[in-house]
């Protein structure tokens, strides 16, 4: 921690800052400059609460040098973490798995048809919401436990791994029973009670970035899961709130190399929510792989025009086939492979 | 709902849109324009999912004319709702109550001292977190159930109403037992499971606007509470995520007249989180009252430099006294009164 | 300047940073911490370009301690600057002048009628655009030189000071001839050529904050004017770009106390552009005065429904009369007076 | 244009809207709905100013159906425009040209060395600022006319096309003499006087998107150039203002397919400003090409650690060579070619 004093701060003010730092159990180190004095704090262990110092007279600014997160950082663990959610479905290595499926589970027929279609094109995991966080209480809220059972059926039929969202403790326990990976949605990224619950469940977690979350916020939310003893966290970029309504969200692909620089955790990209428009999904999925994404999660519906939610951003199975063909070429250009290629092209 | 066709959309494409609207159980009304045709939908009941239509060939844009929310709207209930959280503490009428207290409950002494100080200056309700949503798992997380008991003690000592945050179902039940009003924090504004729980608890709810939430999002979250049969909702503006780090958040006071235009629910303002800096709290609290706020919630700590959280934005009791004196004058200038003035000046 | 080294930076990397600082003519001061070393630079004169250092191996972050601006800062000049644009029309003192008038000058009749109406209600300066920056080349672009002559006529008829926008060098010279204060619009806040021109003209300047400008950006743009020898700068908050379309912009009133903390320059508020909706103008003008604004600039049109631009946010003369009555009460509540009150109530 | 009436709007209010539309020279078409009436306007020619209607009693909302821009739209011209700035350097076709060079022209040696290095690696155009828009008046402002002469020299030495920024009319004329393409920077995107000037100069223009500009804003600014008779406009995405300081800007690559859907103009991407950090430039340049960018503009400095500006985001010639090799592979994966590949690999 560095405490920057105002120009013209008095010696007495500087001494008071030093004293306060001492009273917190640390050693102050004053460093006079041409215009201002800066006081450093020796021995910061990332738990220092700077608020005691911030508003002392003569203090202009407090700067934190240590990161607030620990176990998620590259400095803690230099090598990339590989998160395996099912045999052969791993995020963070050379392979780039594709998770695909409808926004919501709507019926047995729909989810099994979707699963077969995405499997045929090369997806290795199936997405589909049984619990749906909808802005309006009057929108379709998902089939709940029944939806989870339909996902389990689709898994038995196709062998695809299952990724699905949980919105509360009860849901998280149910999802952990039926699925391979628990998704935490953007709206719940800072639902710390839920994060602790999935931390204790030890199942792989797909943690989506909130609409106005910084990368630090995202990493701190992941730290909640890791600090409960669950290291199996996959981060997900899905777009930020924007002033421009030409896309549903502002898809921040730079988050991919930024996360890779700061953390050892894998990060996947969701071009469906990131753009919100079917015809933008394919180019932006390509871009995500080119930027270094460790996976792609994408909405595919056998009949998007009949979808109960997110129809406008869902690909048809045919377009999903195109997407997979294009992604394989881009992955190859960045020395990676789309997972499960063999199955896809067989 | 209005479906705007692209320039050059064919008759066949227009007919397909009409057909789809018919298949959804509504009546289409095509309206040819100079450049484009627009197709209206007769009989919209706000549950129409436009995604089936949005991506049909030839469709340029779908525009929703009906609001997605219902019970929270001015059209549903033209007169302002007055939410009473304790005898004499009402939000939405002529009086403007002030809720004050520390960020966190830290000890019996601290919370009782804070309660006495804010009561003496004219506050009618006490804030103070027992459950704290902190970005980092390593930050102080609150005293939990013990903190709630300390708040209850402070209430017995001073008669102040209690407002405190709940972060999950279990916490909401505990808060409902001990407090007069359950606060839902910005990070949980779209935690729909929690919103439904507090809807069923029927206790007054103070619902804070999320960091990147539109006013519609905020109203829809309130609709979750109302749709469970709980009409006692107070909205709260507390600042949006911003690119400018000179204040902690971007305090959107225009939200106050905007909410008053769209909804019958009262809205209070939180200048402590809205600005994040002690010396900005007083001017922005004045501004909030001048803009028409139905209440003020503000952080006051008996010893801010020792606070375990948010010290930099907490007022001292002395500054809080100044604030109350200034607010009384501004309230008077807009034909309202700060609640409990008598007690404050006695 | 402070150079924060990465954890695990080698002695050699630290030495290279020190060397580079020396080669730039400054003295490095290494300060070892528990986790990282920080290197301070002694003698920073705010012209240091940190980019040479930023990407040296082992450097985690470079932090600027000195402000990049100088003459606009409170540290340079502790007392508030009072900018007088015409006899009796001063910004930055106890009085709060109101500038009012139509978005655009449309005709002699319109501008004279508007001037008389706003003068009668107590305005001391007239606004009205002769050069209009419009997003579309097909929108009305203003009457140009003719418009300026109409403003001069309105001044002769009413005695009001004139504030009007310039968009380029030629326009700035014309405006300087006919008006009392040159407005620089939000879109031109970082048009540095234009800022230098108005700096050399020495006329008072009303500088509007850009749509995505930080307070530092705004102050740096003002610094361009001051550094050409023109100290007569009035800053203006007029709203930021937002994701919420319920108001046209996000009116950042916290900018007022923030500017007052950082700079000696006066700052006025524009609730017409700040909100974009007529019925939000009055509450937000009140809020601006309560927050400490040094003036208000507001759109008033004798017949808003016939306005060639911005009709939706223009007040009628009648509403403007209401506004002035309300502002006088709020100003009084914060120990200030609306300028020209005498004339207004006569 | 569509006028949505409030629920409960009276027949009289609806009639007044119709009347107003008639008085503007158009035909109103009322369309009653289940909850509200909508009034359409027949014959909209994109110059309608809706403000007369917007605030009439009973009007809830006015919706514009026609685009405000014309010549830049896909509807106006379905085929992509190819902008050729020099023989063999074309944007908008199958080839993807790379423009590279330092932020600023600093000396003859520097710019010629940079030009040779980027040419050797395969760039076909040289960037380098002679006029620099800097936030601070105390930062290096560029060498001006002398800088332009150095660019002309570099062109003679290498044959590279020259792209450089103009900040005002005088500068635009000078740049038009010495360079092949006039760059308009993000800060001047809405400097309409300058846009008209470069429109009249008829030279190719590289128009950068402003920090908070929507795609519509960008297209409207381009329309200013086209409406003066200059169709040679290349758009450029360079990042938006963001709340997350991990990258300098928020690089909005979705703008690429969005522009391609709305306009026939080519769009290039600037990963140097888009990310602001050297180690993010390569992955994000790859992503831009994968998303469909029609060109890349990137900062390369022979000695970044000595650069007078933007050193932290400038590539070394060696890294630029890597970038080009990677871009060729990604371009190939999306069926395009990096322009001048032959020269680069020769």
Count of Cβ atoms closer than 10 Å to residue A107 Cβ: 13
The pLDDT value given to residue C344 = 41
Closest-CA distance, C35 to chain A, in angstroms, reads 7
pLDDT interval class at B21 (50, 70, 90)? confident
DSSP 8-state class, residue A72: T
Which of B100, B167, B97, B159 has the alpha carbon at shortest distance from B132? B167
**Minimum Cα–Cα distance from B315: chain A residue:** A55
Task: Using pLDDT thresholds of 50, 70 and 90, give the confidence band for residue B233.
Answer: very high
Task: Give the model confidence (pLDDT) of B78-97 as tens digits.
Answer: 899 999 999 999 999 999 99
Which pLDDT band, with edges at 50, 70 and 90, does A346 fall under? very low
Name the percent of chain A lying above pLDDT 70. Answer: 95
> Would you mind telling me the total number of residues written for chain B in this entry?
346
> Tens of pLDDT along chain C (346 residues)?
778 888 788 989 999 999 988 888 788 877 776 677 888 776 655 556 677 788 788 888 787 766 778 899 988 888 999 999 999 999 999 999 999 999 999 999 999 999 999 999 999 999 999 999 988 888 888 999 999 999 999 999 999 999 999 999 999 999 999 999 999 999 999 999 999 999 999 999 999 999 999 999 999 999 999 999 999 999 999 999 988 888 889 999 999 999 999 999 999 999 999 999 999 999 999 999 999 999 999 999 999 877 877 777 899 999 999 999 999 999 999 999 999 854 444 3
Question: DSSP character for D66?
Answer: S
Report d(CA B56, CA B54) in Å as an integer.
Answer: 6
Closest residue to C330, CB basis, from B214, B215, B290: B290
d(C-alpha D63, C-alpha C249), whole Å: 18
Kind plus residue range of the DSSP H or E element containing A121: helix A108-121
Between strands C27-32 and B181-184, the pairing is unpaired
Across the C:D interface, residue pairs with CB atoms under 8 Å apart total: 140
pLDDT at residue B345 in the model: 41
Tell me what the pLDDT averaged over chain A comes to. Answer: 91
What confidence category does residue B307 fall into, taking pLDDT thresholds of 50, 70 and 90?
A: confident
Look at A305 and B220 and tell me if their CB atoms are within 8 Å: no
pLDDT, mean of residues D50-60: 81
And the tokens for B320?
């809080």
* Residue D342 clears pLDDT 80, i.e. is over it: no
Q: Given pLDDT bands bounded at 50, 70 and 90, which one contains residue B311?
A: confident
A34–chain C Cβ distance below 8 A for any pair = yes
CA C31 to chain centre: 40
Would you list the DSSP string of D152-218? HHHHHHH--EEEEE--SHHHHHHHHHH-SEEEE-GGGTT-HHHHHHHHHH-S-EEEEPPTT--HHHH
**Domain ranges, ordered by start, for chain D:** 2-63, 83-345
The encoded tokens of residue B114 equal: 């804070």
For B34, which of D32, D44, D75 is closest by C-beta distance?
Answer: D44
Best residue of C25, C32, C33 to probe chain A, by most A CBs closer than 10 Å: C33
Residue in chain A lying closest to C44 (CA) = A34
pLDDT score recorded for residue A44? 57
Candidate from C69, C191, C193 with C-beta closest to D136: C69
What's the burial of D157, exposed, middle or buried (CB within 10 Å: 0-12/13-18/19+)?
Answer: middle
pLDDT at position B309 is 79
The phi and psi torsions of D27 (rounded to 5 degrees) equal -110, 125
Task: Verify whether the Cβ–Cβ distance D36 to B241 is below 8 Å.
Answer: no
B30 CB near a chain D CB, below 8 Å?
Answer: no
Q: In the Cβ-directed half-sphere of B103, how many Cα atoms lie within 13 Å?
A: 25
| Cβ separation C308–D49 shorter than 8 A | yes
Q: Is C216 on the interface with A (CB under 8 A)?
A: no
- Mean pLDDT is highest, among A20-29, C128-137, D201-210, for D201-210
D244/D259 Cα distance (integer angstroms) = 25
Query: Tokens 């021109």 label which residue?
Result: C197
| Contact (CB<8Å) C212/D70 | no
- Write out the E strands in chain A: 2-5, 27-32, 37-42, 59-63, 83-86, 89-91, 95-96, 98-101, 125-127, 161-165, 181-184, 205-208, 233-237, 267-269, 296-299, 337-338
The residue among A25, A136, A173, A212 with the most chain B CBs within 10 A of its CB, best to mutate, is A136
User: Tokens 């038995």 map to which residue?
Assistant: A156
What local confidence, expressed as pLDDT, does residue D152 receive?
A: 98
Q: What is the pLDDT of residues D141-192, one digit of tens each?
A: 899 999 999 999 999 999 999 999 999 999 999 999 999 999 999 999 999 9
Q: What is the pLDDT of residue D346?
A: 33
What's the DSSP call for residue B58? Answer: T
Burial class from Cβ neighbours inside 10 Å (0-12, 13-18, 19+) for residue B42 reads middle
Report the candidate in D216, C230, A105, A201 with the shortest Cα–Cα distance to residue A114: A105
Res B180: pLDDT = 98
Of all residues in chain D, the one with the smallest CA distance to A248 is D254
Residue with tokens 């057909």: B19
pLDDT of the residue at A183: 98
Q: Which of A59, A82, A70, A67 is nearest to A3 (CA)?
A: A59
- Predicted pLDDT of residue A65: 65
User: Phi, psi (5° rounding) for residue D315?
Assistant: -80, 150
Distance CA D56, CA D38 (A): 14
Confirm if B206 and B269 have CB atoms less than 8 A apart: no
Sequence-separated (6 or more) residues with CB below 8 Å from residue D16: D56, D57, D58
Mean pLDDT score of chain D, rounded to an integer?
91
Chain D residues lying within 8 Å of C137, measured CB to CB: 192, 220, 223-224, 227
> What integer pLDDT is reported at residue A343 of this predicted model?
43
- Look at residue A90 and give its three-state secondary structure: strand
Please say whether the beta carbons of B234 and B268 come within 8 A: yes
Q: How confident is the model at residue D343 (pLDDT cuts 50, 70, 90)?
A: very low
The architecture in CATH of the region B2-63 reads 2-Layer Sandwich (3.30)
Instruction: Identify the pLDDT of residue C187.
Output: 97
Ranges A10-19, B123-132, D65-74: which has the least confidence? D65-74
For residues A217 and A207, the answer to whether their CB atoms sit within 8 Å is no
| CATH code of the region D83-345 | 3.20.20.70
pLDDT at residue A247 is higher than 90: no
Determine contact, residues D244/D96, Cβ cutoff 8 Å: no
- Quick: pLDDT tens for A124-142: 999 999 999 988 888 888 9
**Termini Cα distance of chain B:** 58
For residue A241, the distance in angstroms to the closest alpha carbon of chain C comes to 7
Q: What are phi and psi of C137, to 5 degrees?
A: -65, -15
Tell me the whole-structure pTM to 2 decimals: 0.90
Query: CA–CA separation, D331 vs A157, rounded Å?
Result: 38
Distance in Å, alpha carbon of C306 to nearest chain D alpha carbon: 6
- For every residue of B13-49, DSSP letters joined together read HHHHHHHHHHHTT-EEEEEE-SS-EEEEEET--S---
Rg (CA), chain D: 23
C contact residues 242-261, partner B, Cβ 8 Å cutoff: 242-247, 250-254, 256-258, 261
Task: Please tell me the predicted confidence (pLDDT) of residue B45.
Answer: 53
Cα A237 versus chain centre, distance: 5
**pLDDT at residue D58 is higher than 80:** yes
Picking from C250, C292, C329, the nearest residue to B252 by CB comes out as C250
Q: What is the maximal distance between C-alpha atoms in chain A?
A: 77
Task: List phi, psi (to 5°) of D35.
Answer: -105, -35
C49 and D312 within 8 Å at the Cβ level: the answer is no
In a mutagenesis test of the C interface, which of A33, A42, A59, A276 is the best target, namely the one with the most C β-carbons within 10 Å? A33
Distance from CA of B214 to the nearest CA of D (A): 17
Helix (H) or strand (E) holding C298: strand C296-299
φ, ψ for residue C140 (rounded to 5)?
-55, 125
Q: Flag whether pLDDT at A345 surpasses 50.
A: no
Q: Distance between CA atoms of C96 and C296, rounded to whole angstroms?
A: 7
In this predicted structure, the answer to whether residue B341 has a pLDDT above a threshold of 60 is no
H helical segments located in D192-316: 192-201, 215-227, 255-262, 271-275, 278-291
Q: Is the pLDDT of residue D344 over 50?
A: no
Quick one: closest CA in C to A245, which residue? Answer: C243
Whether D191 has its CB under 8 Å from any CB of chain C: the answer is: yes
The pLDDT value given to residue A42: 67
Q: Which of C41-45, C107-111, D120-124, D132-136 has the lowest mean pLDDT?
A: C41-45
Q: Give the neighbours of chain C: at least 3 Cβ pairs within 8 Å.
A: A, B, D
Closest CB from C8, C35, C75 relative to A7: C75
Positive or negative, the Cα torsion across C191, C196, C201, C206? positive
Helices (H) and strands (E) in chain A, counts: 12, 16
Q: Quick check: D188 contacting C, CB < 8 Å? A: yes
């Amino acid at each position: 921690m560095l405490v920057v004093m105002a120009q013209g701060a008095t010696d007495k003010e500087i001494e008071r800052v030093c004293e306060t730092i001492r009273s917190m159990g640390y050693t102050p180190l004053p460093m006079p400059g041409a215009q201002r004095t800066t006081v450093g704090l020796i021995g910061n262990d990332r738990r220092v609460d700077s608020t005691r110092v911030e508003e002392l007279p003569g203090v202009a600014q407090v700067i934190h040098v240590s990161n607030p997160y620990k176990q998620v950082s590259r400095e803690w663990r230099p090598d990339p973490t590989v998160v395996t959610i099912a045999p052969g479905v791993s995020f963070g290595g050379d392979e780039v798995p594709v998770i695909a499926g409808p926004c919501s589970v709507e019926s047995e027929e729909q989810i099994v048809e979707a699963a077969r279609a995405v499997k045929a094109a090369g997806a290795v995991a199936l997405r589909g919401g049984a619990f749906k966080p909808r802005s309006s209480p009057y929108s379709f809220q998902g089939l709940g436990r029944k939806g989870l059972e339909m996902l389990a059926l689709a898994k038995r039929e196709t062998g695809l791994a299952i990724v699905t969202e949980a919105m509360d403790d009860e849901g998280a326990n149910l999802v952990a029973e039926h699925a391979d990976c628990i998704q935490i949605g953007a709206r719940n990224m800072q639902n710390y009670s839920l994060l602790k619950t999935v931390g204790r469940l030890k199942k792989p977690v797909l943690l989506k970035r909130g609409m106005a979350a910084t990368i630090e916020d995202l990493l701190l939310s992941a730290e909640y899961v890791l600090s409960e003893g669950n290291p199996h966290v996959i981060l997900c970029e899905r777009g930020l709130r924007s002033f421009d309504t030409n896309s549903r969200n502002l898809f921040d692909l730079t988050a991919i190399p930024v996360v890779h620089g700061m953390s050892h955790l894998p990060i996947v990209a969701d071009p469906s929510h990131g753009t919100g428009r079917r015809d933008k999904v394919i180019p932006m999925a390509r871009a995500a792989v080119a930027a270094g994404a460790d996976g792609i999660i994408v909405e595919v519906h056998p009949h998007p025009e009949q979808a109960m939610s997110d129809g406008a951003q869902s690909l048809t199975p045919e377009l999903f086939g195109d997407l997979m063909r294009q992604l394989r070429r881009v992955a190859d250009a960045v020395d990676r492979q789309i997972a499960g290629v063999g199955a896809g092209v067989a």
